[in-house]
């Protein structure tokens, strides 16, 4: 583990650090995200923080190495709002990324909820991302989906939002007995690689174990211990670009629920089903009973208690205008695409 990540201000710039030429932030709010600067995890967490526009090269928190562990969601600390995160992944395994927060630990489950947002005229859901990263390994999530109605999308993914590498399971309300598998490389949105699998029952009615086994040479998807798909790296070679279109980047495990049926994008609506049914008290809920993570590649260790190193803080008093208003509320937004647009998960 990196010592600097164990405290919200631990990676604030030291006086001797070099300020980046394109920086728009200062030492009191060093981390840049989507047009705003601040000093908390919502802005500084690796994968969210823009290292080019942040105050300096050390402003963004470094990615935490993978931790082999099982999270049973027995404690409220297992998943917390990202703004409450102090930077210690050994204490908080998962972070709810969006505001308002629609995720919590209840009755031994991680619950991700989606309710109707009149301002957006669609559902506002939740995305929960692991505090640790993973680069190869085996992840099993025991999930009861929310996809009981057209348009409701549930997802279990491993993704690097900077490189666009992704491996996923997705469920759409249009096909409640089905799970879809796909993978992406370098932000190339190739939907032709999606493969569906009939689970044999309504995925929103019962829990099933969904496993992604990711190694440098192969991707394997399993449902309830049964292999349903294998992709070998050697088969992804593209001679035109002389590259393997195979995800290799350090990533985060995440879960998400979002409204595809009322997204306004035709491809998304046709894929997920539409319109998403909404009433005055409608609420859709995805439940995650447990997550088992077995690391491979970057680390194979259990979580440990971090060193108690004091955070580095800048001297002086910050100007009153240094902190922005809250980051605009964001739900998973699908960029316009010809086919099935993808949500941004974290």
> What gap in Å lies between CA 233 and CA 160, rounded to an integer?
18
Q: Indicate whether 222 belongs to any domain.
A: yes
Active site residue 64: no
Residue 252 sits in which domain range? 69-295
Segment 282-303 shows an average pLDDT of 83
Where does the pLDDT of residue 271 fall: very low under 50, low under 70, confident under 90, or very high at 90 and above? very high
pLDDT for residue 313 is more than 70? no
* β pairing state of 178-184 and 152-159: unpaired
317 falls within a domain: no
The residue length of the chain stands at: 346
Is residue 118 exposed (0-12), middle (13-18) or buried (19+ Cβ within 10 Å)? exposed
* Cα dihedral 315→321→322→326 (10° resolution): 140
> Is 210 within the bounds of a domain?
yes
**Is 303 a domain residue?**
no
Residue among 99, 170, 217, 270 flagged as catalytic: 170
Whole-structure pTM value: 0.81
Per-residue pLDDT at 344: 39
Predicted local confidence at residue 23, as pLDDT = 67
Q: Is 170 a catalytic residue?
A: yes
Measured CA to CA, the distance from residue 139 to residue 159 in angstroms comes to 13
Q: Is residue 270 part of a domain?
A: yes
CATH of the domain at 107: 2.60.120.200
pLDDT value of position 22: 66
244 within 8 A of 155, measured Cβ to Cβ: no
pLDDT digits (tens, 9 = 90+) for 134-184: 999 999 999 999 999 999 999 999 999 889 999 999 999 999 999 999 999
In a domain, 87, yes or no: yes
State the total domains in the chain: 1
Give a yes or no: residue 176 inside a domain.
yes
pLDDT at position 21: 60
With respect to residue 121, please indicate whether it lies within any of the assigned structural domains. yes
Instruction: Give the confidence band of 302 by pLDDT, cuts at 50, 70, 90.
Output: very low
Q: Which of 64, 166, 178, 217 is catalytic?
A: 166
């Amino acid at each position: 583990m990196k010592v600097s990540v164990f405290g919200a201000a631990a990676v604030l710039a030291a006086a001797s650090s070099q300020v980046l030429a394109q920086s728009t932030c200062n030492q009191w709010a060093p981390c840049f995200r989507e047009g705003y600067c601040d000093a908390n995890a919502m802005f500084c967490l690796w994968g969210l923080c823009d290292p080019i526009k942040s105050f300096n090269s050390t402003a963004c928190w470094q990615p935490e190495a993978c931790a082999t562990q099982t999270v049973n969601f027995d404690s409220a600390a297992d998943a917390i709002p990202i703004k409450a995160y102090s930077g210690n992944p050994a204490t908080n395994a998962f972070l709810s990324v969006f505001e308002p927060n629609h995720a919590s630990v209840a009755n031994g489950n991680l619950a991700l909820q989606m309710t109707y947002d009149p301002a957006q005229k669609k559902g506002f859901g939740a995305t929960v991302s692991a505090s640790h990263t993973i680069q190869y390994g085996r992840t099993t999530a025991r999930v009861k989906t929310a996809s009981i109605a057209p348009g409701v999308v549930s997802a279990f993914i491993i993704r690097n939002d900077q490189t666009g590498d992704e491996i996923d399971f997705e469920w759409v309300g249009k096909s409640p007995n089905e799970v879809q598998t796909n993978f992406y490389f370098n932000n190339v949105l190739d939907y032709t690689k999606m493969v569906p699998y009939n689970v044999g029952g309504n995925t929103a009615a019962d829990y099933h174990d969904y496993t992604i086994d990711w190694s440098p040479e192969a991707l394997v998807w399993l449902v309830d211990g049964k292999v349903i798909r294998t992709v070998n790296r050697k088969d992804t070679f593209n001679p035109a670009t002389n590259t393997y279109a195979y995800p290799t980047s350090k990533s985060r495990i995440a879960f998400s629920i979002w409204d595809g049926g009322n997204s306004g994008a035709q491809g998304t609506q046709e894929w997920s089903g539409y319109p998403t049914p909404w009433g005055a008290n409608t609420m859709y809920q995805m439940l995650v009973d447990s997550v088992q993570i077995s690391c491979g590649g970057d680390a194979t260790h259990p979580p440990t208690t971090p060193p108690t190193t004091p955070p580095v803080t800048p001297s002086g008093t910050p100007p009153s205008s240094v902190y922005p208003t809250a980051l605009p509320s964001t739900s998973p937004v699908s960029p316009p695409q010809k086919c099935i647009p993808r949500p941004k998960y974290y």
